[in-house]
Amino acid sequence: MSGLPLSCSTSASSPRIPPLSLSLTDASVRGVESLRARRDSFSVVGLIPESYFAPLDLPKIYGRVAPLHVDLGCGDGAFLFALAEQMPEKNFLGTERLLHRVKKACRKADKIDNMRVLRIETSYAVRHLLPKESVEKFHLLFPDPWEKRRHHQRRIVGLDFLRDIHAALVPGGVLRIATDHKDYFDQIQEVAERLQIFQLAVSDGAIYPSSTFEDKYKAEGIPIYRLELRKVSPVT
């Protein structure tokens, strides 16, 4: 099955938004360079440019209703592909900003029915494109640590991001995090505790495939810090 990219032209009255393309197992990601194409060129599973600000129609995209896992920053798609093969009864979505990684991920998605790849900035996808209470589990594996102190504000995990994650998760849904940076790990824990909308999750015992970064860090003997946060109702 082949899909066209989705993008949206902007006007002076509309906010500036990041490039997006939705690949329905399309290895070539055709037309990504034409991100400001005219609206009459769009045709992606019933979506039109106005839907750029509306949640994705997940049943139409996947052709079924099933629990959804989302890999935030899926890279070349190796982890997501292995997970989709491991759990054919679930749907899998990867978000990735860099085109060369999206192409690699799409080549893998082309081999399987339950994996899709979205080219977009992760925070935008979580806030605007994922329907409320639609995600069973988020995987955030080795996010950019922005190591220099003056760059820490660029780290993806913050109060607003975790609030958006909470909104997109189903009741009891889980955000699964792995990082090789202890200070980032501590910061994530601190932010989650401040919000009081997550609790530490007991592992469900699932054996997850290794990501490309995880294999690299393990080979180098670098410690990996893991955290699972389960959605709970806000404390009032």
How far apart CA 98 and CA 75 sit, in angstroms, is 8
| Active-site residue list | 144
Sheet holding 91-96, edge to edge: 21-23, 115-119, 91-96, 68-72, 135-141, 169-179, 225-231, 198-200
Q: For residue 227, what is the enclosing H or E element?
A: strand 225-231
Q: Which residue has the tokens 């209703």?
A: 65
**CA-atom Rg of the chain in angstroms:** 18
- Residue 74: count other Cβ atoms within 10 Å of its Cβ: 29
Q: How does DSSP assign 92-159, residue by residue?
A: EEEEE--HHHHHHHHHHHTT-SSEEEEES-HHHIIIIISPTT-EEEEEEES-----SGGGGGG-S-SH
